[in-house]
Amino acid sequence: MTQNYDAIVIGAGVMGASLAFHLAERGLKTAILERKVTASGATGHSSGLVRMHYDLAAESDLTFQSYKIYFNNWKERVGGECGFQQTGFLQIAKREHEDKLRGNVANQQKIGINTSVISADEVQRLFPDLLTGHFDYAAYEPDSGYADATLTTNSFIESAKRNGATLIQNCEVTAIRTASGKVIGVDTTQGNFDAPIIINAAGAWAKHVAGLAGIQVPLETWTHDVAFLHRPPSLGKFPACIDDVINCYFRPEGSALILAAGEDESLRGEAPDAEDQTPTPTFVEKLIDSMVKRIPKIEQSGLHSIHVGRDGITPDQRAIYSGTNIEGFYLACGLSGTGFKTSPAAGASMVELILDGKPKTVDISQFRFERFAEGKLLDGEYGYGHIWK
């Protein structure tokens, strides 16, 4: 028996959950189809940063609207919990990138983001346990921090369900059906579903899912190691931070741990299956060697645990938010490891694109699928180069 819906979202990570929330809020009968369980892919292994510093203004706008409308107002806007913790955020830049840092901060200030360029001396006054001899300036966002990606996803889904959405887990899409250039439904391991709107938010599986509709999306898988370190008892407060000098990012994880990861050595091109993931052999040693250059007290720490996440990454390491040449078939994928913080506003903007013909929350036209065929890959106005080396 075929079940009928107004819209189908493929994937119950944070992006699919946000899409389902916004579709259901607009009154559409929505099904979320997930091949495993909610947040079982990249979302469940997300570092959860909520920061607004990007070298592409559209991405900064997505994160700003996500923070302003959602993360900073979660219970009222969505309901449930997202686990947002305001720790402040530092973007530490290489000395040769000072002009780019200032240009990006100026662009972000025009959007309305509370950010500024501060000196290394100011960084040390704010956070005395950070060594600052390796850089001259950083961007500082006092409002930013981190949130819990799984809580965020579950809150979106529970709210969507209150508005009539249906979550179907352990449900793998095996075919996408079309007729006369339009999408009409999907076949799955749990039966057939019809809908005139289908959104591919399948994360590491998005290339495979698009292929079921005959669409070739330039995605490869990207596998990333993240460590949880014991927090030294003598370590004072410190912010969430992306440190381009030591090629690491880190943040507090509650009061007892530190989440940290490198920005290089991520694996590419593995199968999308998330099972049996193991960290690269040199990950922890290289991470600690880098971290002590910024926080010497890390030497008093120890490893608590490691997790390994896998996402889809595009050639320009920017997301795809777009329609396709099949009417009713949309892409919200290729998030390239940075999708969590943008997901609330990106979901809202995608639903506006689908239902109203034009996004209102944030202009996401730059993220159109056609840019790859046109050879118009996205680059920052004051680009730092690729995040993931």
Q: Give the single-character DSSP code of 388.
A: -
Pairing of strands 145-146, 116-119: unpaired
3-state helix, strand, coil in the chain (%, to 5): 30, 25, 40
CB 348 within 8 A of CB 361: yes
* 174 token code pair: 């095996």
CB 47 within 8 A of CB 259: yes
The residues facing 4 across adjacent strands are: 194
Phi-psi region for residue 86, left (φ > 0), alpha (ψ -120 to 50) or beta?
beta
- The count of residues in the chain is 389
Q: What is the dihedral of CA 215, 216, 218, 219, to 10 degrees?
A: 80
User: Buried (b) or exposed (e) across 10-38, using 16+ Cβ within 10 A?
Assistant: bbbbbbbbbbbbbbbbbebbbbbbbbbeb
Closest CA to 299 of 288, 309, 314: 288
Closest CA to 186 of 19, 325, 355, 10: 10
User: What pLDDT, on the 0 to 100 scale, is given for residue 11?
Assistant: 98
User: What pLDDT, on the 0 to 100 scale, is given for residue 126?
Assistant: 98
User: What pLDDT, on the 0 to 100 scale, is given for residue 263?
Assistant: 75
* 259 token code pair: 């989440």
Neighbouring C-beta atoms of residue 121, cutoff 10 Å: 10
Q: Please give the chain's pLDDT, 389 residues, in tens.
A: 789 999 999 999 999 999 999 999 999 999 999 999 999 999 999 999 999 999 999 999 999 999 999 999 999 999 999 999 999 999 999 999 999 999 999 999 999 999 999 999 999 999 999 999 999 999 999 999 999 999 999 999 999 999 999 999 999 999 999 999 999 999 999 999 999 999 999 999 999 999 999 999 999 998 889 999 999 999 999 999 999 999 999 999 999 999 999 976 677 888 887 555 677 778 899 999 999 999 999 999 999 999 888 999 999 999 999 999 999 999 999 999 899 999 999 999 999 999 999 999 999 999 999 999 999 999 999 999 887 75
pLDDT tens by residue, 279-336: 777 889 999 999 999 999 999 999 999 988 899 999 999 999 999 999 999 999 999 9
What are the C-alpha distances in Å from 230 to residues 263, 281, 293, 297?
21, 20, 17, 11
Tell me the residue type at 372.
F
User: What pLDDT, on the 0 to 100 scale, is given for residue 265?
Assistant: 65
Q: What is the pTM of this model?
A: 0.97
User: Taking the alpha carbons of 96, 99, 101, 102 in that order, is the dihedral positive or negative?
Assistant: positive
CB 53 within 8 A of CB 104: yes
Pairing of strands 329-333, 198-200: parallel
What are the C-alpha distances in Å from 367 to residues 22, 186, 360?
19, 25, 15
User: What pLDDT, on the 0 to 100 scale, is given for residue 276?
Assistant: 55
pLDDT tens by residue, 40-62: 999 999 999 999 999 999 999 99
Give burial (CB, 10 Å; 0-12/13-18/19+) of 295: buried
The pLDDT > 90 percentage for the chain reads: 90
Pairing of strands 303-313, 220-230: antiparallel
DSSP per-residue letters across 49-89 = EE----SSHHHHHHHHHIIIIIGGGHHHHT-S----EE--E
**Structural domains of the chain, with CATH:** 3-45+150-219+316-374 (3.50.50.60), 85-144+221-307 (3.30.9.10)
Using DSSP's 3-state secondary structure scheme, residue 273 falls into: coil
* 387 token code pair: 């995040």
Q: How far is Cα 294 from Cα 269, in angstroms, rounded to an integer?
A: 32
* 240 token code pair: 């969430």
The residues facing 137 across adjacent strands are: 119
User: Taking the alpha carbons of 221, 227, 228, 234 in that order, is the dihedral positive or negative?
Assistant: negative
